[in-house]
């Protein structure tokens, strides 16, 4: 505990911080006063004030403007006090304890001595196992920290490899694009050559017109050679021009596209966002995947039943689960549910009502408040009653598996199980999984008829990993 900054008791040094205290003189001293005190009163032992020492007990009341001897004890506040504290007239800083159960310090002496002995025994008992517990705690912390650092390296390696593969793939596609572009569209030099053609044609025309000035009889060979040059140039220009027209006709509406498309890209990004997960396992309860559950934590039969139903549906021998949402801890509003549970992938929901009815459902589909009605072509979604140990599949495989609405929590089927905006309130309506005419659906809550409302005591949602 840090002590408060006391000032020197010598009035002229009242603005200087004290560095020591004399129990006999009951005064605080600055460095100047301490020098004289130690020389004049050698039998007095002053206490050096330290930043981390407990506050010096002076025997005087600490209330402002009191500073008189502590002679009384307030039983109400378990605190020593002075005559000013017990003053019957409450004025300014006086009379703070006037209405309390107070007594003389002598009257409380025996009680405090006895209490001290009890407290010493308690402290001795605590002391026996405390160091062992501290050492164990330090050992656990060091192991966990070591495990954390190893995991960091492992995670970084995985994501570095993924980034490298993405970079390599990006480079491959960019190189492929350059090659395809050159094959289809020639190259930049070809364009430069094409841009020269108008000037070449202009010069050839001028040259052709200038041949009229040549005396054919005298310079026939030159005339004929120039004509041949023009013919050859015209032939090359005609080929280039024909190629240019063909290209323009063939590729006028041509464009290069990159796949995946925008919607496919969003799906890939979603997969990346959900890639990898940290699972905290309790080794002591490693065989109990529901060790964090307050609904079926102690019922192995119910746990195995739910897990086996899921394994059978997804055709896996091993699955793992991680608690994502607990209504009593994370909130009872539908917005709380969607905050924690949207886009977590396959999930298991457990519901406990105030009448101790236990039921829930599994779906491989993503909860998302913007999705609306979702169908499950795989037919893996189901609901169940843990009171009856009974599973209910979708009656019509093209029926609604789950509903994702912002103003509701979980909805299986067409409100076969539904938790409202205030998820403490729920309702049952047989439609997608059960036929209400046979009252099968209301077996979940034990009611009769087409619909029934219930009060939710707890909701747990688990991410299912397989």
pLDDT for res 2: 35
196-245: per-residue pLDDT in tens?
889 989 988 988 888 888 888 888 888 889 889 899 989 989 888 888 88
* Rounded Cα gap, residues 462 and 256, in angstroms: 45
Neighbours of 62 (CB within 10 A): 14
User: Does residue 190 carry a pLDDT above 80?
Assistant: no
User: Does residue 344 carry a pLDDT above 80?
Assistant: yes
**Cis before 260 (ω within 30):** yes
User: Does residue 283 carry a pLDDT above 50?
Assistant: yes
Give the pairing of strands 451-465 and 425-429: antiparallel
The three-point CA angle 415-416-420 to 5° equals: 40
Neighbours of 162 (CB within 10 A): 13
Confidence of residue 332 (pLDDT cuts 50, 70, 90): very high
Confidence of residue 334 (pLDDT cuts 50, 70, 90): very high
33-91: per-residue pLDDT in tens?
988 888 888 777 777 776 544 566 777 887 777 778 899 999 999 999 999 888 877 66
Neighbours of 340 (CB within 10 A): 14
Confidence of residue 93 (pLDDT cuts 50, 70, 90): low
Give the pairing of strands 382-385 and 358-363: antiparallel
pLDDT for res 156: 93
pLDDT for res 364: 95
Residue that has been written with the tokens 């492992």 in this structure: 154
* Rounded Cα gap, residues 188 and 290, in angstroms: 66
pTM: 0.45
pLDDT for res 462: 95
* Rounded Cα gap, residues 279 and 463, in angstroms: 10
Lowest-confidence pick of 3-12, 28-37, 375-384, 405-414: 3-12
Averaged pLDDT score across all residues of the chain: 83
User: Does residue 27 carry a pLDDT above 70?
Assistant: yes
Question: Which residue from 254, 350, 344, 280 is spatially nearest to 309, judged by alpha carbons?
Answer: 350
Helix (H) or strand (E) holding 180: helix 105-185
* Rounded Cα gap, residues 155 and 162, in angstroms: 11
* Rounded Cα gap, residues 221 and 214, in angstroms: 11
C-alpha dihedral (297, 300, 305, 309), degrees to nearest 10: 60
Q: 3-state DSSP call for residue 37? A: helix
Q: Which residue intervals of 186-256 are DSSP H helices?
A: 188-210, 220-251
Mean pLDDT of all residues in 19-38: 85
Residue that has been written with the tokens 């607990």 in this structure: 326
């Amino acid at each position: 505990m840090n002590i408060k900054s006391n000032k020197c008791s010598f009035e002229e040094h009242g603005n200087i911080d004290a560095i020591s205290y004399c129990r006999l003189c009951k005064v605080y001293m600055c460095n100047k006063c301490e020098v004289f005190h130690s020389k004049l009163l050698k039998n007095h032992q002053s206490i050096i004030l330290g930043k981390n020492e407990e506050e010096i007990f002076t025997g005087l009341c600490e209330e402002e403007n009191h500073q008189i001897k502590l002679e009384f004890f307030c039983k109400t506040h378990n605190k020593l006090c002075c005559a000013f504290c017990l003053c019957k007239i409450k004025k300014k800083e006086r009379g703070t304890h006037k209405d309390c159960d107070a007594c003389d310090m002598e009257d409380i002496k025996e009680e405090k001595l006895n209490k001290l002995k009890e407290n010493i025994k308690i402290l001795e008992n605590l002391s026996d196992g405390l160091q062992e517990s501290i050492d164990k705690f330090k050992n656990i912390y060091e192991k966990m920290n070591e495990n954390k650092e190893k995991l960091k390296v492992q995670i970084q390696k995985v994501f570095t490899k993924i980034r490298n593969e993405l970079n390599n793939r990006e480079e491959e596609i960019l190189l492929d694009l350059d090659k395809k572009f050159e094959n289809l569209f020639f190259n930049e030099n070809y364009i430069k050559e094409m841009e020269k053609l108008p000037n070449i044609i202009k010069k050839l025309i001028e040259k052709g017109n200038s041949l009229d000035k040549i005396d054919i009889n005298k310079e026939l060979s030159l005339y004929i050679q120039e004509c041949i040059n023009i013919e050859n140039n015209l032939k090359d220009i005609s080929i280039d021009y024909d190629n240019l027209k063909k290209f323009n006709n063939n590729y006028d509406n041509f464009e290069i596209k990159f796949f995946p498309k925008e919607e496919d890209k969003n799906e890939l990004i979603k997969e990346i966002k959900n890639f990898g997960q940290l699972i905290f396992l309790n080794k002591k309860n490693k065989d109990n995947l529901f060790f964090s559950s307050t609904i079926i934590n102690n019922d192995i039969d119910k746990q195995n039943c739910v897990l086996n139903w899921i394994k059978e549906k997804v055709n896996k021998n091993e699955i793992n689960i991680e608690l994502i949402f607990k209504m009593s801890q994370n909130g009872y509003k539908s917005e709380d549910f969607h905050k924690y549970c949207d886009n977590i992938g396959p999930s298991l929901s457990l519901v406990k009502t105030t009448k101790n009815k236990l039921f829930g459902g599994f779906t491989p589909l993503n909860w998302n408040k913007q999705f609306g009605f979702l169908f499950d072509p795989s037919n893996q979604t189901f609901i169940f009653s843990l009171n009856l140990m009974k599973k209910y599949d979708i009656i019509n495989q093209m029926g609604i598996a789950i509903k994702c609405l912002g103003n509701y929590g979980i909805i299986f089927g067409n409100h076969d199980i539904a938790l409202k905006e205030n998820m403490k309130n729920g309702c049952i309506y047989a439609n997608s999984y059960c036929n209400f005419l046979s009252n099968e659906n209301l077996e979940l809550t034990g009611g009769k008829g087409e619909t029934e409302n219930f009060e939710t005591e707890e909701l747990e949602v688990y991410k299912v990993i397989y």
